[in-house]
Chains A and B, each alone.
Chain A
Amino acid sequence: MYDPTVARLTYRALLGRRRALILGALPLLLIVIAVVVRGLTGADDQTAVNVLGGFALATMVPIIGVIAGTGAIGPEIDDGSVVYLLSKPLKRPTIIFTKLIVAIAVTMVFSAVPTMIAGLILNGNGQRIAVAYTVAALVASIAYAALFLLLGTVSRHAVVFGLVYALVWEALFGSLVPGARTLSIQQWALAVAHRVAGGDLVTSDVSLTTATVLLVAVTVLATWYAGQKLRSLTLAGEE
Chain B
Amino acid sequence: MAVEQPLASPAPPPGDQTRIHNIGYRNYDGPRLGRAYARRSLYSQSLRGAYGLGRSVKSKVLPMLLFVVMCVPAAIMVAVAVATKAKDLPVEYTRYAIIMQGVISLYVASQAPQSVSRDLRFKTVPLYFSRPIETADYVRAKYAALASAMFVLTAAPLLVLYIGALLAKLDFADQSKGFAEGLVSVALLSLLFAGIGLVIAAVTPRRGFGIAAVIAVLIISYGAVSTLQAIADAQNNTAAIPWIGLFSPVTLIDGVQTAFLGATSSAPGAVGPGSGQGVVYVLVVLGLIAAAYGLLLRRYKKVGL
- A residues within 8 Å of B by Cβ? 18-19, 22, 25-26, 29, 33, 36-37, 40-41, 46-47, 50-51, 54-55, 58-60, 63, 66-67, 70-71, 74-75, 78, 157-160, 163-164, 167-168, 171-172, 238-239
- A19 contacts which chain B residues (CB < 8 A)? 209
CA distance A164 to B234 in the complex (A): 31
With known contacts A36-B228, A163-B212, A239-B58, A78–B220 Cβ distance under 8 A = no
At the interface, yes or no: B235 with Cβ under 8 Å from chain A? yes
A-B contact pairs, 22 of them (CB 8 A): A18-B209, A19-B209, A22-B212, A22-B213, A26-B220, A33-B227, A33-B228, A40-B237, A41-B234, A47-B231, A50-B227, A50-B231, A59-B219, A63-B215, A63-B216, A159-B209, A159-B211, A159-B212, A160-B109, A167-B102, A167-B215, A239-B58
Partner of B208, one of A159, A167, A168: A159
- A171 contacts which chain B residues (CB < 8 A)? 102
The reply to whether A60 and B212 contact each other, CB–CB distance below 8 Å, is: no
- B231 contacts which chain A residues (CB < 8 A)? 37, 40-41, 47, 50-51
Nearest chain A residue, comparing its CB with the CB of B122: A238
- B237 contacts which chain A residues (CB < 8 A)? 40
- Give the distance to chain B from A129, nearest Cβ to Cβ, in Å: 15
- B residues within 8 Å of A by Cβ? 55-56, 58-59, 62, 102-103, 105-106, 109-110, 118, 122, 204, 206-209, 211-213, 215-216, 219-220, 223-224, 227-228, 230-232, 234-235, 237
CA distance A46 to B230 in the complex (A): 12
- Give the distance to chain B from A106, nearest Cβ to Cβ, in Å: 14
- Give the distance to chain A from B244, nearest Cβ to Cβ, in Å: 10
How many A-B contacts are there with CB distance less than 8 Å? 96
The reply to whether B235 and A163 contact each other, CB–CB distance below 8 Å, is: no
With known contacts A22-B216, A29-B220, A167-B219, A37–B228 Cβ distance under 8 A = yes
- A157 contacts which chain B residues (CB < 8 A)? 62, 110
- A60 contacts which chain B residues (CB < 8 A)? 220, 223
The reply to whether B224 and A33 contact each other, CB–CB distance below 8 Å, is: yes
CA distance A47 to B233 in the complex (A): 11
- Give the distance to chain A from B218, nearest Cβ to Cβ, in Å: 10
CA distance A7 to B56 in the complex (A): 35
- A37 contacts which chain B residues (CB < 8 A)? 228, 231
The reply to whether B106 and A160 contact each other, CB–CB distance below 8 Å, is: yes
With known contacts A40-B231, A55-B227, A160-B62, A78–B208 Cβ distance under 8 A = yes
- B216 contacts which chain A residues (CB < 8 A)? 22, 25-26, 63
